[in-house]
Amino acid sequence: MDLLIIGVDTGGTFTDFLYNHGGRWRVYKVLSTPDDPARSVLQGLEHITRVFSCRVVHGSTVATNAVLERKGVKTAVITNAGFEDLLVLGRQNRSRLYDLFYRKPDPLVPASLRFGIQGRIDASGSQVQPLDAEALDGIVQSIREQGVQSIAVCLLFSYLNPGHEQAVYARLQELGLPVSMSHAILPEFREFERLSTTVLNAYVSPVMSGYLQRIKDSLAPSLLRIMQSNGGSISVEQAMQEPVRTILSGPAGGVVGALHTAGAAGFERIITLDMGGTSTDVCLVDGELPLSTEACLSGLPLGVPMLDIHTVGAGGGSIAVLDEGGALKVGPESAGSDPGPICYGRGRQITVTDAHLFLGRLRPDRFLGGEMVLDKTMLNQALTIMAGQAGLDPLQLAEGILAVADANMERAIRVISVEKGYDPREFTLVSFGGAGGLHCAGLAMLLSIPRVLIPVDPGVLSARGMVQADVIRDYSLTVMLRHKDAFCEHLEKMFRPLEQKALHDMQEAGFASGEVSLQHFLDMRYKGQSFEIMVPWEPGENKTDKFHELHRQKYGHHHPDREVELVNVRLRAVGFPDKPGPDLLPHAGPELPDEARLGEAKVMFQGGFCPAVILDRNELRPGNEFSGPAIVTEYTSTVVFPPFARGRVDHLGNIIMELS
């Protein structure tokens, strides 16, 4: 089989291509072209695919950036009359409590393009007022005159009865514009979150469609799939319909890559640590990809299921300052790549990267494979001044900067683990991203995590995740069943339309019904609560027991005598494309090859300098073993092994760090 499988990740400075051909993995990188992201993608694909037909999985930031930069299209929205301003009202609260000058994010749709229409469905799904179809004439006229390019429709209780939304949709067809309907995008209750999600979809839809069409045309007849934020890929046609599912898909690739890499290495329960220049993403995976429906992008709620990734403003470029009250703060402000840390030559403010260099943990001559030389001269002065103000010596200050950055990340990991009833001691930390290797050992110590896995090519783990991602479609429906006895008899009936739609969509994506795994979930809560727990369900089962148990695990208490409410039914359809396995490397002994030893350096650990061996990762072989203190360098990252750590290279080339 000469099929070439390519993962394409446009997340960073470089567009990464990871491809497998003839059983071997290769990496290719092209400088990204943010003004026209398709250019770097097509350029790279052309380089790789000259000869072969291929399957490409692409993680695109086009939809995310369109929202962040407010560069979507002119969008109109239709709601019930009397609710035209729902986008502005939001949930009435403010995101910053102590801000006398608080301002809301601008709505994506201005007042002149927000239309209301009479007609009402009630909380049981019954029509209490018919739709005023005649009023649609005026709306259609106005939309046409104002040069609208996309439309969102969100009517109350449409998840129970989509009749009114469908009638509006039928009438809008004559405009020939893309229409996003809330009951199709997110058939779940809570009107503001559903509206916001539907409007986001409409807002980015033409931008994303144009971009994807261009790539698809250039690739034809090869197969193109698009990465979603839920950790799976979908067909390019579905991504054009529901681009909202690709928003924030970038970090998802890394988590999927970590899950598969760790799984192949024998670790099912992982916490991912993706530390870059400005922020760090962490995610806890207990065998299954964790989902959340409470995401937000620049203040706009996004209710589609997404990997539950927690982000904190701590990265290599995070700036350290001594505030007026005398505390040492690190981040969330970042020096980015311009001006960058002081040691890059132009920065003025001390960053986390500077502290690493000062302590000997970063090798000035090995940064980016030696392409960039880090400069310590300016750094000494800056650290000495700040250390004087802090009442510390410069080394203590540099260690302090790392300790504060670690504390910020520790807090993020505690939110996803300890606070949700998980014990980090039972997990493996999977570290990637440019700065992960510098902090993983310290973080593992803080959280008593026994082991860290540093995958092969940690810089392109996200592209690897895209190649390894299953094809996944998520479906949901708010049903709001109050009575215990209604569960079993209704459930299968409620899932049936979702299953039919799922099998139909998966068939379009190239999977026959026998090849599709259907996973059922029930969102449940005690009557009166407003947060649901997602409980796995098998047809024929009565699952309230499982719900009580999960409630106790998550929150420490349960109420078996209270009435349970079934809020949503969820269906996840998974198709399993062919995936090449990891490269198998010949086994060498524990002895390190001489080529791997680059020298020795004095490195500061816990207040004292000690000699650390410097190792070249490219020369390490499966089976090799070593102990800290050690510094392992490779092109895009550096891994620090403190004195208490031991390292080995596993049969797949991953480095496993064990902490005693």
Calpha distance 306→295 (Å, rounded): 7
Q: Which of 23, 326, 514, 607 binds another protein (CB under 8 A)?
A: 326
The contact mask relative to another protein for 192-211 (x = CB under 8 A, - = no) is: xx------------------
The reply on whether position 294 binds another protein by CB under 8 A is: no
Look at the alpha carbons of 42, 48, 51, 57 in this order and tell me if their dihedral is positive or negative.
negative
Residue closer to another protein, measured from CB, 82 or 599: 82
Residue closer to another protein, measured from CB, 187 or 455: 187
Task: Looking at residues 605 to 634 of the shown chain, list those that interact with another protein (rule: CB under 8 A).
Answer: none
The contact mask relative to another protein for 332-371 (x = CB under 8 A, - = no) is: ----------------------------------------
Q: Are 8 and 44 in contact (CB under 8 A)?
A: yes
Cα–Cα separations (whole angstroms), residue 147 to 73, 79, 136, 177, 591:
10, 19, 17, 11, 70
The reply on whether position 485 binds another protein by CB under 8 A is: no
- Whole-angstrom Cα Rg for the chain: 26
- Range in contact with another protein (rule: CB under 8 A) among 24-32, 67-75, 514-522, 555-563: 555-563
Per-residue DSSP letters for 201-223?
Answer: HHHHHHHHHHHHHHHHHHHTTSE
Calpha distance 524→541 (Å, rounded): 14
Residue closer to another protein, measured from CB, 546 or 554: 554
Q: Which of 94, 144, 348, 579 binds another protein (CB under 8 A)?
A: 94
Q: Which of 22, 147, 221, 325 binds another protein (CB under 8 A)?
A: 325
Residue closer to another protein, measured from CB, 194 or 473: 194
Q: Are 175 and 202 in contact (CB under 8 A)?
A: no
The reply on whether position 312 binds another protein by CB under 8 A is: no
Residue 27: CB atoms within 10 A of its CB come to 15
Q: Which of 26, 39, 269, 411 binds another protein (CB under 8 A)?
A: 411
The reply on whether position 324 binds another protein by CB under 8 A is: yes
The contact mask relative to another protein for 46-65 (x = CB under 8 A, - = no) is: --------------------
Residue closer to another protein, measured from CB, 37 or 90: 90
Which residues on neighbouring strands pair with residue 640, listed in sequence order?
A: 631
DSSP type of residue 422:
-
The contact mask relative to another protein for 498-537 (x = CB under 8 A, - = no) is: ----------------------------xxxxxx------
- Closest CB 329 distance from another protein, rounded Å: 6
- Range in contact with another protein (rule: CB under 8 A) among 210-218, 505-513, 554-562, 637-645: 554-562
3-state secondary structure 88-152: HHCCCCCCCCCCCCCCCCCCCCCHHHEEEECCEECCCCCEEECCCCCHHHHHHHHHHHCCCCEEE
DSSP type of residue 533:
E
Reduced to 3 states, what is the DSSP secondary structure of residue 541? coil
Task: Looking at residues 140 to 159 of the shown chain, list those that interact with another protein (rule: CB under 8 A).
Answer: 156-157
Residue closer to another protein, measured from CB, 171 or 329: 329
Q: Are 157 and 169 in contact (CB under 8 A)?
A: no
Which H/E stretch holds residue 165? helix 163-172
- Closest CB 165 distance from another protein, rounded Å: 14
What tokens appear for 277 in the block? Answer: 């220049």
Q: Which of 135, 322, 503, 588 binds another protein (CB under 8 A)?
A: 322
The reply on whether position 296 binds another protein by CB under 8 A is: no
Calpha distance 645→169 (Å, rounded): 62
Q: Are 222 and 185 in contact (CB under 8 A)?
A: no
3-state secondary structure 289-337: CCEECCEEECCEEECCCEECCEEECCCCCEEEEECCCCCEEEEEEECCC
Residue closer to another protein, measured from CB, 555 or 576: 555
The reply on whether position 419 binds another protein by CB under 8 A is: yes
Write out the residues near another protein by the rule CB under 8 A: 82-86, 88-94, 97-104, 120, 122-123, 128, 156-157, 189-193, 322-330, 390-392, 399-400, 403-404, 407-408, 411, 414-415, 419, 480, 526-531, 551, 554-557, 559, 562
